[in-house]
Amino acid sequence: MEVFLVIGLMAFATFPIRVISISLFSGRALSPTLMRVLSLVPVAILSAICSPLIFQPFGKWDNPLTLIEFWAAIVCILFSRFGLLPSIFSGLSVYIIGSIFL
Amino acid sequence: MGSVVSTSKSSYESPNSIKAGIWAILPMLLGTAPFGVVFGVFALDIGFGFIGAQSLSSFVFAGSSQFVGVNLYGQGASLEIIFWTIFLVNFRHFLYGASLGPKLLGTSSRHRVLISFFLTDEAFAVVSKFKKVHFRYYWGAALAMYFNWQIWTGIGIFFAPYLKSIMAINFGFIIVPAFLAIIFQQAINKAARFCGLLSGFLALFLNSLPHQMGVIIAALISIFLTLLCESIFSPKDFNKRRYN
């Protein structure tokens, strides 16, 4: 029973944040400055999520040249000019192959 | 598939089609599959049981928050601690919702409540490149991600005894290539590139903060500094962007 209480609690902790933000900002004419701020949100958030996983995969500073995560990210970035799929598959391939054999 | 996925950088309006949304999120499904499997194994291991583990993915549907919540539960944390930790971990969705809300086309207030349940990092990443988002496109991407997450969680639950041995791999990185590809598609001007680099750099120093607060703080500081730099070093360009 406690398990389902925890599930309900977790749903209650996550759902209102999403509802409130979407509802609050929908259908409103936002100021140009706020629109500019919001336009930078995706790049800022996604970069902040990615960089520790690339440079600190074990939660501490390491020499990036010795990390397979770093090299996979480099390959992924190099292939990004060819589109989303080649970029993702090349990065993942380097990471999985590197993780298995190195 | 390629033509739908590799949308041009100058995309203004998303396609008005569920199918296009599904195609667009397809690479992300691949990236989140291992997470789903690992979560199934993990939740079962902690003691959520078959139904509990699957219910978590079905009714919470919040990726990293699920991992954190289950981990805290396994450590015997109180319900208050679990609630507030999950709340903070998931707080970045406030920024997602704020960014997505003004872009959504043709949605009623009830519809938006439903839409918000399916808002994830991946769905947001896919729709955020557009200035206007048709709800059908969003639903295609969001529901594909939802069912993908359910299926892989289920696989993790059912095959848990056989899968524990492969869990030594660092699954945290699996989604990174997908996010990197999206960052490099979206960072089309100097300001966005500066913002992304700065945010990534700051996140490294804030990584030790609890509840993934480093992500939110790094993003907010970098956005603020980007706008400040724009207004100082290139006010003409800044004003042009603001008012056009």
The amino acid present at B211, given as its one-letter code, is H
Residue B7: band (very low, low, confident or very high) from pLDDT cuts 50, 70, 90 = very low
Distances (CA, A) of B233 to A37, A77, B220: 17, 28, 20
Distance between CA atoms of residues A56 and B143, nearest Å: 32
Backbone angles phi, psi at A67, to 5 degrees: -100, 130
Backbone angles phi, psi at B132, to 5 degrees: -130, 135
How many beta-carbon contacts under 8 Å exist across A and B?
284
Burial B106-140 (b: 16+ CB within 10 A, else e): ebeeeebeebbbbbbbbbbbbbbbbeebbbbbbbb
pLDDT surpasses 70 at B158: yes
Distance between CA atoms of residues B55 and B117, nearest Å: 15
Instruction: Indicate if ipTM > 0.90.
Output: no
Residue A15: band (very low, low, confident or very high) from pLDDT cuts 50, 70, 90 = very high
**Which residue's entry shows tokens 């609050």?**
A24
pLDDT surpasses 60 at B239: no
Question: What are the pLDDT digits (tens) for A49-91?
Answer: 889 989 998 888 889 999 999 999 999 999 988 877 788 889 8
What's residue B183's pLDDT?
85
- Burial of B92: CB neighbours in 10 Å, binned 0-12, 13-18, 19+: buried
Note whether A7 and B104 are within 8 A (CB).
Answer: no
In what helix (H) or strand (E) does residue B105 lie, and over which residues does it extend? strand B104-105
Mean pLDDT of B42-63: 91
What's residue B70's pLDDT?
87
Residue of B nearest to A61 (CA): B204
Cβ–Cβ gap A18/B119 under 8 Å: yes
**What is the DSSP secondary structure assignment for residue A80, as one 8-state letter?**
G
Backbone angles phi, psi at B119, to 5 degrees: -80, 115
Distance between CA atoms of residues A16 and B113, nearest Å: 9
What's the pTM? 0.72
What's residue B203's pLDDT?
92
Mean pLDDT of B60-68: 85
Annotated domain spans of chain B:
2-181, 187-244
Distance between CA atoms of residues B73 and A48, nearest Å: 27
A window 28-47, beta carbon within 8 A of B: 28, 30, 32-33, 35-47
Question: What are the pLDDT digits (tens) for B179-221?
Answer: 888 788 778 788 899 999 999 999 999 988 877 788 889 989 9
Residue B132, strand partner residues: B13
Cβ–Cβ gap A6/B73 under 8 Å: yes
Residue B3: band (very low, low, confident or very high) from pLDDT cuts 50, 70, 90 = very low
For residues A67, A82, B172, B101, the Cα torsion angle rounded to the nearest 10 degrees is 140
What's residue B2's pLDDT?
34
Cβ–Cβ gap A84/B185 under 8 Å: yes
- A34 CB neighbour count, 10 Å cutoff: 13
Note whether B88 and B211 are within 8 A (CB).
Answer: yes
For residues B182, B59, B85, B177, the Cα torsion angle rounded to the nearest 10 degrees is -20
For residue A45, which residues of chain B lie inside 8 Å, CB to CB?
Answer: 92, 95-96, 199, 215-216, 219
Note whether A18 and B209 are within 8 A (CB).
Answer: no
- Nearest by CB to residue B116, choosing from A19, A30, A48, is A19
What's residue B170's pLDDT?
63
Mean pLDDT of B131-136: 90
Whether A97 contacts chain B with CB within 8 A: no
Mean pLDDT of B36-60: 90
Distance between CA atoms of residues B25 and B182, nearest Å: 11
Cβ–Cβ gap A59/B196 under 8 Å: no
Distance between CA atoms of residues B116 and A17, nearest Å: 9
Whether A93 contacts chain B with CB within 8 A: no
Residue B167: band (very low, low, confident or very high) from pLDDT cuts 50, 70, 90 = low
Question: What are the pLDDT digits (tens) for B22-37?
Answer: 999 998 888 788 788 8
- Which range has the worst mean pLDDT, A29-43, A84-98, B107-121? A29-43
Mean pLDDT of B158-173: 71
pLDDT surpasses 60 at B96: yes
- The whole-angstrom distance between B85's CA and the closest CA on chain A is 9
Count of residues for chain B? 244
What's residue B152's pLDDT?
94
What's residue A6's pLDDT?
93
- B218 CB neighbour count, 10 Å cutoff: 28
Cβ–Cβ gap B6/A85 under 8 Å: yes
What's residue B165's pLDDT?
63
Residue B238: band (very low, low, confident or very high) from pLDDT cuts 50, 70, 90 = low
- Nearest by CB to residue B180, choosing from A36, A50, A55, is A50
Cβ–Cβ gap B177/A46 under 8 Å: no
